[in-house]
A and B are shown apart, each in its own frame.
Chain A
Amino acid sequence: MTSQKKILIVDDEEDILTYLSALLEDNGYDTLLARDGEEARKQVETSLPDLITLDISMPEKSGIKFYRDMKADDQWKKIPVIIVTGISEDFKKFISTRQQVPPPEGYLSKPINPEEILALIKKFTA
């Protein structure tokens, strides 16, 4: 029996955590949840997920700060990240052209298309 892929879902919206965890679990993934960047960091440390879906605007530690720290860490920088955010499309351009950090593996705007997120997760966890 092959072990299921672990997906860390990071979002400050409880409903979105519930939705994405149900969607991913129904499609054969294990899920871990984090409500801000700090919780996400702890989850990465303890559970080493196979992929992260990451919201950007969150209280305490924002998604972007978490992303920057993670991509600077040799142990974690290979974990694929799909950014899932409601902030403007300009941000996609911004994050994709930053010299200081590598661009994320995927970028999805809310509201999310379930087929699209499942296809991306499948691609980067294969």
Chain B
Amino acid sequence: MELNYKQFFEVMPAYLTILDRDLRIMEGNQRFRKDFGEFEGRYCYEINRHRAERCEHCPAERTFRDGLRHGIEEQFRNLFGQEVSLIVYTTPIRNEAGEITAVMKMATEITELKLLQNQIREGRERYRQLFEEVPCYITIQDPDLRIIEANRQFREDFGEVLGSKCYQAYMHRSEACVPCAVKQTFQDGQVHQVEEVVTSRDGQQVNVLVYTAPIRDAGGQIKSVMEMSTNITQIRELQSQLASVGLVISSISHGIKGLLTSLDGGSYLVNSGLEKNSRERIKQGWQMVERNVARIKTMVLDLLYYAKDREPNLDWIPAHSVAEEVLGLLRGKAKEYGVDFHWEFDPAAGDVAADAKAIRSLLVNLVENALDACRVDKKKSTHQIRVGLKGYPDFVEYEIYDNGIGMDQETRERAFSLFFSSKAGDGTGLGLFISNKIVQAHGGEIRLESELNKGTRVTVRLPRKGPASRPASSKTS
């Protein structure tokens, strides 16, 4: 029987040694002798670690001390100078009286396993680094749209949002977006793309291009979805500049066609006047030519004015006159829509340094928005719009209130973005964007307060003396 144990000890595919209390190697199996050589009278730390002193964390010592089994991961250096990674276990050997007389140390080589582990760790680290440092927003979401991982850029711009729902962190909404690209990917396992305007934690509007992709487990089931968003705000800003130019071009092309027709008319009258020898007709035709040449001049100047990102053509204008003009224009439309139109103008509002044409466009746009908000609201029997004007020492304030359909938070936050419209096919997504630009160009401030199904209040403050150095901004609440 003892022979059997001895054989077993010898052929074990691990390094087996028996140590005395001084950590001298009393016995070593075949494999140990082959890789670590003769051990007679030598200490284990000499043989295993090529050191002159005991190791700091010696499992054999601990086993001598407490009589328990201990395990540790160690590196030995063999006879051939190779570093070998091992898992070492020590176990006590007791005499008949139960006293620990020796410790058996079994070391199993894990060098290849260790290498594999290192490779996996390095690979994971590389992916982690890529995930963290890639210059876009990445989140991993569960089927409830809960963010279970987010990369560094996302955390920096949207805060520590692990555990939050995607639409809460990204959109400040209480309900999921419709349609939701992440949900679609969960359903069909396909990559989906969508463009969104999201709000960072410091309130900045960010245009993002979103891609979603499934993350599957070993069984092919979709356990989570990765959402990757690229910030395309700069591209959108560039597009907005191009769109402004496009808008101006299309609006003036109509005017140019009219001017050309009138010039043709002038030329026709001059020529036919010459044929008929009618001095009166020649005069009429020539006046028409002169008048239209002057109109072309004005139009070219307008074009240059718009092309320069709407630098306002400032003049001292009575603040109430522009508002009255706008009311005159839109009163008929309000009647058509069955909306009560009220206005209250501070008679002492005074003059403001502004571009009358731009402010007129701004107010027309805001009042038309209010009319549309009332028109589409089917939940109330009566609708009202109130337009107010107040004068303060340093600024004038226009206020347009309606009790129409109102806006949810997402709509409020995106209201000033280019190409965003809540009016389905009726909106261009340009109105409030351009309104904001006009207010900015005047150094003013536009504020939007709105609640879904209750109504909207837009307040525009224009500095009385025109744009100074102070920055302009838009606010929503």
Contacts and interface: CB of A to CB of B under 8 A. Distances in A.
* A and B associate in one complex: yes
Contacts of B253: 86, 88
A86 B257 contact: yes
24 contacts: A15-B262, A15-B288, A15-B291, A18-B265, A19-B264, A19-B265, A19-B266, A19-B288, A20-B265, A22-B268, A22-B269, A22-B272, A23-B265, A86-B253, A86-B254, A86-B257, A86-B261, A110-B257, A110-B260, A111-B264, A112-B261, A112-B264, A114-B264, A114-B268
Interface residues of B, number: 22
List the 5 shortest-distance A-B pairs measured between CB atoms, nearest first. Answer: A19-B265, A86-B257, A15-B262, A111-B260, A110-B257
Contacts of A114: 264, 268
Interface string B330-342: 0000000000000
A92 to B, nearest CB: 13
Interface of B: 250, 253-258, 260-266, 268-269, 272, 281, 284, 288, 291-292
A109 B260 CA distance: 11
Contacts of B269: 18-19, 22
A110 B284 CA distance: 21
Interface string A56-99: 01000000000000000000000000000011100000000000
Contacts of B281: 22
A86 B265 contact: no
Contacts of B257: 86, 109-111
Interface in A1-33: 13, 15-16, 18-20, 22-23, 26
Contacts of A22: 265, 268-269, 272, 281
Interface residues of A, number: 18
A87 B382 CA distance: 36
A15 B272 contact: no
Question: Which among A15, A57, A109 has the greatest number of chain B C-beta atoms within 10 A?
Answer: A15
B261 A111 contact: yes
Given A86-B253, A111-B264, 8 more contacts: A15-B292, A16-B262, A19-B264, A22-B268, A23-B268, A110-B257, A112-B261, A114-B268
A16 B268 contact: no
A110 B268 contact: no
A23 B269 CA distance: 8
B272 A110 contact: no
**Chain B interface mostly:** helix
A87 B257 CA distance: 8
A57 B284 contact: no
A118 to B, nearest CB: 12
Interface string A92-122: 0000000000000000011110100000000
Contacts of A20: 265
Nearest to B255: A86
A87 B251 CA distance: 9
B250 to A, nearest CB: 8
Contacts of B288: 15, 18-19
A57 to B, nearest CB: 7
Nearest to A23: B268
A57 B268 CA distance: 24
A15 B266 contact: yes
Contact of B258 (A23, A26, A88, A110): A110
A110 B260 CA distance: 8
Contacts of B262: 13, 15-16, 19
A16 B258 contact: yes
A55 to B, nearest CB: 9
B265 A16 contact: yes
Contacts of A15: 261-262, 265-266, 288, 291-292
A66 to B, nearest CB: 16
Interface in A21-61: 22-23, 26, 57
Question: Which among B255, B261, B264, B291 has the greatest number of chain A C-beta atoms within 10 A?
Answer: B261
Contacts of B254: 57, 86-87
Nearest to A109: B257
B425 to A, nearest CB: 14
Contacts of B260: 110-111
Contacts of A18: 265, 269, 284, 288
A17 B136 CA distance: 60
Nearest to A111: B260
Contacts of A112: 261, 264
B266 to A, nearest CB: 7
Contacts of B250: 88
A112 B261 CA distance: 6
Nearest to A113: B264
Nearest to A19: B265
